[in-house]
Amino acid sequence: MNEISISEDTIKNIVEKYHGEKTALISILQDVQKEYSFLPKDALSLLSEEMEIPFSRVYEVSTFYNSFSLVPRGRHVIEVCAGTACHVKGGPKLRSRLEAELSIECGETTEDRMFTLEEVRCLGCCSLAPVVKVDSDIYAYLEEDKIPGILENYREERRQSGEN
């Protein structure tokens, strides 16, 4: 279920954008992830061939960095900040509440592929602690009890867009 069909042209174009430079591997992987929301295995094999980098190294880089995912992620990515300021101001409670509301653990995706819950080391918004980021929206001074409403807003948006 983790495989989707990838477009060979798309991958080749991304590699071309960086002139096939081996040093650009991380940027290339970021672009591929932007395209598919995760790094499909076929895309990694193709990159390895196109860039003449051993697959083991492409895989090493893909798994070393936190921002890459080898499994599909949800429509919305929720990042709970685990920075020090957030930690002392109640970040762990937000994480537990999100896990409970979504019935998943941090690092997992809901069954309906709506949300992926992740922990991020520090968003650098320490003055607004505790902070949760959903896609590119940052929720500052977040209180636990506001979480259900926030999640509902994203679900509602989806319903209104007329898709299932």
Partner 1 sequence: MARINNLQDLNKRREQGIASLFPSKIKVMVGEATCGLATGAGLVHNALAEEIEKQKLDIILSKTGCIGMCYREPLVDVMEPNRPRLTYSRLTPKNVPAFLNQILEGNHKSKKPYCRIDEDILIINGETKRYLNGDLPDDLAAIPLMSDIDFYEKQFKIATRNCGYIDPDNIDEYIARGGYFTLHKALSTMQTEEIIKAGLRGRGGGGFPTGYKWQSCREAHGEVKYVICNGDEGDPGAYMDRSVMEGDPHSVIEGMIIGAYAIGAHEGYIYVRDEYPFAVNALSLAISQARECGLLGENILDSGFSFDIQIGKGAGAFVCGESTALMASLEGRAGEPRAKYVHTVEHGLKDRPTNLNNVETWANVPVIVGRGSEWFSEIGIENNAGTKVFSLVGNIRNVGLIEVPMGITLQEIIYNIGGGIPKGKQFKAVQTGGPSGGCIPKEMLDLPVSFDELSKAGSMMGSGGMIVMDETSCMVDVARYFLEFLEGESCGKCVPCREGVRRMRQILDDICAGRGREGDVELLESMSEAIKDGSLCALGGSAPNPVLSTIKSFRDEYNAHIQDKKCPAGVCTELIHSD
Residue 139 sits at φ, ψ, to 5 deg, of -100, 115
CA distance linking residue 70 with residue 49, whole number of Å: 18
- Beta pairing class for 76-81 and 115-120: parallel
Measured from the CB of residue 76, what is the shortest distance to partner 1 in angstroms? Answer: 17
Q: Judged by CB, which is closer to partner 1: 5, or 136?
A: 136
- To partner 1, the closest distance from the beta carbon of 78 in angstroms equals 15
Q: What is the smallest separation between the CB atom of 93 and partner 1, expressed in angstroms?
A: 10
Q: Select 107 or 111, whichever has its Cβ closest to partner 1.
A: 107
Give residues in contact with partner 1 (CB under 8 A): 21-27, 29-30, 57, 60-61, 64-68, 82-89, 120-129, 131, 136, 138-140
Q: Residue 99, Cβ neighbours under 10 Å: how many?
A: 15
- Half-sphere exposure (CA, 13 Å, Cβ side) for 14? 25
